[in-house]
Amino acid sequence: MKLQFELLLIWILNALALLAVANFVPGIHVDGFTAALIAAFFLGLINTLIRPLLLLLTLPVTLLTIGLFIFVINGLLFWFVGSILKGFLVDSFWHGVLGSVLYSIFSWALSAAATQLMRKQ
């Protein structure tokens, strides 16, 4: 039961992080909280299933660029999700790169804060 609550909380926090990113990056558009929930779900799914495979396939390029190619992969996946969902739009690849970086930072900060609050209770 606790795990289900934590997963639901992380999902909601990721949706809030996505809404925050849309407010900071002019090339990212989210139609509302429901669209953010759906986009956060698909971003999590893509990052869990496809991203590890892409990281493995592009390992030589990632090593040559000292890890910077991971930003390209993250930006492409963010842009991809924005191109397949209604209510979530990423205008360009560079908006996807910036959006994925900010999304990671916001998501991490919100999750860390929630974890600290749950530990205190």
pLDDT of 121 strictly over 80: no
Summarize the confidence of residues 21-37 as an average pLDDT.
Answer: 96
| pLDDT digit string, tens, across residues 85-116 | 999 999 999 999 999 999 999 999 999 998 88
The answer to whether residue 1 scores a pLDDT higher than 80 is no
- When pLDDT is cut at 50, 70 and 90, the band that residue 10 belongs to is very high
Q: Where are the domains of the chain?
A: 2-111
Separate counts of helices (H) and strands (E) for the chain? 6, 2
Which residues in 55-76 are b (16+ Cβ under 10 Å) and which e?
eeebeeebeeeeeebbebbbbb
What's the confidence (pLDDT) of residue 72? 96
pTM beyond 0.85, yes or no: yes
The confidence score (pLDDT) of residue 17 equals: 97
Query: CB within 8 A of 25, min separation 6: which ones?
Result: 95, 98, 99, 102
Taking residue 81's Cβ as centre, other Cβ atoms within 10 Å add up to 23
Mind listing the pLDDT tens digit for each residue in 50-75? 999 999 999 999 999 999 999 999 99
